[in-house]
Amino acid sequence: MAREFSRTQRVADQIQRDLAQLIQFEIKDPRLGMVTVSHVRVAKDLGYADVYVTVMPLSDQDEAQTVKESLAVLNKAAGFLRHELARGIKLRVMPQLRFHFDETVERGRRLHSLIEQAYQRESKDSSPDED
């Protein structure tokens, strides 16, 4: 039997797709870096939607500053984005949008580097024994 998705999950997926397009084509703020909508979590009552984004800094900008500015721009544009989403998605209630930085990508990079360091240390320690 196929896995069934809840209504909130389908709404979250649609919001994610539409938001990605809106952010790319409609928001013209130069402070906004390259933004990717990685995940959307919608409350069961459709009262709010937590939007998780990743941000890639442009040129030689500081990553932390770029994330902070991008989140400020997105949270300021949340009303506009919500209005545009409501035009495309027919719901009785369009959720309030709350933008958050998705730290899972950075956590994954850090774990990958730790695993690589441990692997290199292990291979360096075991190589003299094999001779």
Separation of alpha carbons 121 and 118, rounded Å = 5
**Domain spanning 7-103: which superfamily?**
K homology (KH) domain (3.30.300.20)
Q: What is the per-residue pLDDT for 3?
A: 60
Cα separation of 66 and 42, whole Å?
26
pTM of the predicted model, to two decimals? Answer: 0.78
E runs forming strands in 2-101: 34-42, 48-56, 96-101
pLDDT of residue 56: 84
Task: State residue 66's pLDDT score.
Answer: 87
Give Cα separations from 27 to 78, 115, 123, 127, 128 (angstroms).
Answer: 11, 39, 49, 55, 58
pLDDT at 127: 66
Q: Name the residue ranges covered by the structural domains of the chain.
A: 7-103
- What pLDDT sits at residue 83? 94
Mean pLDDT, the chain cut into blocks of 10 residues (131 residues total): 73 94 90 89 93 85 85 94 92 92 84 88 72 46
